[in-house]
Amino acid sequence: MSPPASRARRPQKASRSLSIGEAARAIGVSVDTLRRWERAGRIKTTRDSANRRLVSEDEVRRLGGRSISKSGTALSARNQFDGVVTAVEVWGVIALVEVQAGPHRFVSIITRDAVEELGLATGVPATATVKATSVMVARRRDPSAPAH
């Protein structure tokens, strides 16, 4: 089962486990598909004390962790990264939420109200969205190039 919202300062280093339903949503496939993958040896699962299947966060990440079906909402923002919430810290009216989207970890600062309205907690699938005009670009210096 999904643990309660994490208020830990840092997410656990150890890989967390998601229920099969959470894992299916994070990867963007049905629970039936995950069960089929399990039988075919494509995904590693463990069992909890009640014999329910658990999928590690690493395993979810390995399988893309990117939903195939979008909610269908049309949004002009060009940058969308599907992932899973790995940490939620609430500080007064503001919350810091970390989302692991494939190899990327996004840090988002949103209001506490938004966190509560969206039900954001560790293990919840979420999409990080950024307008193109909010994306800055810095040149990485080529180590072999002379400084100027």
Residues that bind another protein (CB under 8 A): 25, 67, 71, 77-79, 81, 96-97, 99, 102-104, 106-110, 114, 118-120, 124-140, 142
Q: Strand, helix or coil at 8?
A: coil
Strand partners, 55: 18
| Ramachandran angles phi, psi of 6, nearest 5° | -80, 130
Task: Tell me how far, at minimum, the Cβ of 84 lies from another protein, in Å.
Answer: 11
Query: How, if at all, do strands 17-19 and 53-56 pair?
Result: antiparallel
CB atoms within 10 A of CB 129: 15
Closer residue to another protein, CB minimum distance, 11 or 125: 125
Task: Tell me how far, at minimum, the Cβ of 47 lies from another protein, in Å.
Answer: 26
Closer residue to another protein, CB minimum distance, 39 or 140: 140
b/e map of 71-87 (b: 16 or more CB within 10 Å)? Answer: eeeeeeeeeebbbbbbb
Task: Tell me how far, at minimum, the Cβ of 99 lies from another protein, in Å.
Answer: 7
Task: Tell me how far, at minimum, the Cβ of 18 lies from another protein, in Å.
Answer: 15
Closer residue to another protein, CB minimum distance, 29 or 120: 120
State the amino acid at position 33 in one-letter form: T
